[in-house]
Structure 1
Amino acid sequence: MDVVITGGAGFIGSNLARALTQHLDIAGVRIIDNFATGTKDNLTGLDAQLFEGDVQDPALLDSAFDGADAVVHLAALPSVPRSLRDPIASHHANATGTLQVLEAARRAGNLHVIAASSSSVYGATPALPKHEDLPTVPMSPYAVTKLATEAYLTAYHHSFDLPVLPLRFFNVYGPGQRADHPYAAVIPRWIHAALNGHPATVYGDGTQTRDFTYVGTVTALITDALLRQVAHPTPVNLAFGTRTSLLDLAAELRTALGTPLALQHEPGRPGDVPHSQADPTRLRALFPDIAPASLRSGLQGTVTWHQ
């Protein structure tokens, strides 16, 4: 099996690429990346073919998809704050980029397409845990672009019989996640702050909750989906129903680090969702053999990588 990973030089993409290249049933891995957020350092020592460029380039996609069996579409401009600063850039990269990927998958013979969405699509929907049949109330342009990603996958399944699997990621973390850019996620930012003797910034009072998912669990599940050709026309939560407040996360990080971690509170940010927790019922039905890493073990591996 030959697999294309869009955004393969990013955090999740490079972790997935390494996992796939070590699997005996994966013959080849191809990576598409324009290095807007990913880095070439993430590809060091990786046995994969690189197609450098943007997923909005149909000719590049046709070249990379030629002879492939499946596509894992991870390329995107992440971050709610980034989308608030430049909504149009987020739309082009995430929504239009997805549409181009789906058209290229059709041209290549209806390839199996697994694509990343986000729990941010639930937005202001108050119910917990979040199940996939809840209404979506996006609170940011980023969330809208991910809702468009899901909708395009569902439409292409019904319109063109394309095998698709839209996955709603929930706060993925782990080794390889950068802390050195303005839109860094909370876990690498806090680890970096602690290792450098700085306080960790909390936006809000810290009682907001998240369903953190270790990147190794994500790559194992996507690998399984590829090998078994798992398809589903509507979104599937990719998280396992945990609920951790940022204050509890800080306590777990202190344990993993073995050092103090002071917190510095700042005002809450526009577009941030107060609480997030997945209902994993649909996920567990499709992937009964996947066992998620615990937050404690995942944080320890992440801290070790950062150290």
Structure 2
Amino acid sequence: MVRVLVTGGAGFIGSNLVISLVKEGCDVTVVDDLSMGMMKNLKDVQGKIIFYKHDVCDHVFMHRVLDANFDYIYYLAAVASVVDSVERPYITHQVNQESVVNSLEYLRINHYFPKKFLFISSAAVYGNYPELPKKENGRVQPLTPYAVDKYASERFTIDYGTLYGLSTVVVRFFNVFGPRQNPSSSYSGVLSIVTKCLLKNKKFIMYGDGSQTRDFVYVDDIVRALIFISKKKETCGVYNIGYGEQNKLLDVIRQYEKIAGKRLDIEFKDPRSGDIQESMADVTRLKKTGFVAKWGLENGLKKYWRYAESEF
């Protein structure tokens, strides 16, 4: 049986990944301290996985876990709040960078060679440079401790591959939405907040006029891409994961309203300082692997709404 480790596996994307891996028949181990993840996200696989409620910064513990010599490692554990990284730069740095490097180093010195070590990064590394679409080999401008740590961890992951023969790969997520995203979280995606407001008939605060663009991608396509990339022996370096589409936020909301059959009460406010106005992934490199998205934005919104109605 294929043995897989998922750090941060009780979070939004991690839990969706874990559920898919279990369905594929994998023997899955999850490490999550539940500071951001939730056990209810894993209710569908309860009793079918090994779960450790633990901090990835406990290096001794992580070494014991890594001694299982996994076939695949998906490193999603992170403090995903940009605001938190600004307020607590060193503490978040320990999770977002030091824990990653320590795990890579333990694999190296013990001659563990998983089929793939896949590190999860973010489009936040691109910052505010105006070039569109965002290309993996384009300029980066990490503007916060979160983005700095993500970019540094990317380089460590890639260099451990080129220098020491580990099979490593990095993915940069754009704007992911879908089931198990917590709308009450301070770092949650905008569409989860919109969904909550639609369900509960609450006012949605729009910072800016809604013309800001994003490359929204449904979480099931994210998970499919992660598994696809990890199984491809030749994948290496960095891959953007998005749809390669530039959608205005207000247009996406209007599309979602039609799907939900409800009108969103929107209050417009001034843009927030530091918010990115335009974003879109260049997915040429992803497509060259042979990966084809299944859902797309409209079908993803439909599926998300059906899930939301059944859960809330």
Distance in 2 (CA, whole Å) between partners of 1:104 and 1:41 is: 31
Tell me whether 1:125 sits opposite 2:129 in the alignment: yes
Distance in 2 (CA, whole Å) between partners of 1:152 and 1:298 is: 33
Query: Does structure 1 conserve the Cα–Cα contact (< 8 Å) formed by 2:7 and 2:77?
Result: yes
| Residue aligning to 1:74 | 76
Query: Does structure 2 conserve the Cα–Cα contact (< 8 Å) formed by 1:214 and 1:292?
Result: no
SS at match of 2:169: strand
Choose the corresponding residue for 2:210, options 191, 206, 212: 206
Tell me whether 1:56 sits opposite 2:57 in the alignment: yes
1:120 partner letter: A
Distance in 2 (CA, whole Å) between partners of 1:231 and 1:115 is: 13
What percent of counterpart residues are identical? 32
SS at match of 2:44: coil
Choose the corresponding residue for 1:110, options 100, 110, 113: 113
| Residue aligning to 2:182 | 178
| CA gap 1:301/1:245 in 2 versus in 1, 3 angstroms | same
SS at match of 1:61: helix
Query: Does structure 2 conserve the Cα–Cα contact (< 8 Å) formed by 1:51 and 1:64?
Result: no
* Residue 108 of structure 1, CA deviation: 5.8
| Residue aligning to 1:10 | 11
| Residue aligning to 2:150 | 146
Q: Residues 158-177 of structure 1 correspond to what in structure 2 (within 5 A)?
A: 158-177=162-181
Distance in 2 (CA, whole Å) between partners of 1:188 and 1:220 is: 20
Distance in 2 (CA, whole Å) between partners of 1:123 and 1:7 is: 24
Q: Residues 166-245 of structure 1 correspond to what in structure 2 (within 5 A)?
A: 166-232=170-236, 234-245=237-248
1:80 partner letter: V
Cα RMSD between the aligned structures?
Answer: 1.6
| CA gap 1:70/1:105 in 2 versus in 1, 3 angstroms | farther
Query: Does structure 2 conserve the Cα–Cα contact (< 8 Å) formed by 1:237 and 1:278?
Result: yes
Distance in 1 (CA, whole Å) between partners of 2:182 and 2:141 is: 29
Query: Does structure 1 conserve the Cα–Cα contact (< 8 Å) formed by 2:228 and 2:291?
Result: no
Distance in 2 (CA, whole Å) between partners of 1:207 and 1:86 is: 32
Q: Residues 255-266 of structure 1 correspond to what in structure 2 (within 5 A)?
A: 255-266=258-269
Distance in 2 (CA, whole Å) between partners of 1:277 and 1:292 is: 19
* Residue 283 of structure 1, CA deviation: 0.7
Distance in 1 (CA, whole Å) between partners of 2:275 and 2:167 is: 32
SS at match of 2:147: helix
TM-score (norm 2): 0.92
Query: Does structure 2 conserve the Cα–Cα contact (< 8 Å) formed by 1:62 and 1:108?
Result: no
Gapped regions of structure 1 (runs ≥ 5): none
Distance in 1 (CA, whole Å) between partners of 2:22 and 2:63 is: 22
SS at match of 2:255: helix
Tell me whether 1:39 sits opposite 2:41 in the alignment: no
State which drifts further: 144-153 or 264-273: 264-273
Choose the corresponding residue for 1:93, options 92, 95, 107: 95
State which drifts further: 31-40 or 141-150: 141-150
Tell me whether 1:269 sits opposite 2:268 in the alignment: no
* Residue 197 of structure 1, CA deviation: 1.2
SS at match of 1:44: helix
Query: Does structure 1 conserve the Cα–Cα contact (< 8 Å) formed by 2:119 and 2:171?
Result: yes
Query: Does structure 1 conserve the Cα–Cα contact (< 8 Å) formed by 2:213 and 2:277?
Result: yes
Query: Does structure 2 conserve the Cα–Cα contact (< 8 Å) formed by 1:139 and 1:272?
Result: no
Distance in 1 (CA, whole Å) between partners of 2:150 and 2:270 is: 26
1:132 partner letter: E
Tell me whether 1:284 sits opposite 2:283 in the alignment: no
State which drifts further: 14-23 or 101-110: 101-110
TM-score (norm 1): 0.94
State which drifts further: 165-174 or 51-60: 51-60
* Residue 79 of structure 1, CA deviation: 2.6
Question: Number of residues paired by the alignment?
Answer: 303
| Residue aligning to 1:253 | 256
Provide Cα deviations, 1:168-196, integer angstroms capped at 9, x if missing partner.
Answer: 00011111111122222101111101211
Provide Cα deviations, 1:96-139, integer angstroms capped at 9, x if missing partner.
Answer: 12112212333361322101110111112111111111110122
1:208 partner letter: Q
1:170 partner letter: F
Distance in 1 (CA, whole Å) between partners of 2:205 and 2:123 is: 22
Distance in 2 (CA, whole Å) between partners of 1:255 and 1:87 is: 41
Distance in 1 (CA, whole Å) between partners of 2:234 and 2:227 is: 10
Query: Does structure 1 conserve the Cα–Cα contact (< 8 Å) formed by 2:215 and 2:243?
Result: yes
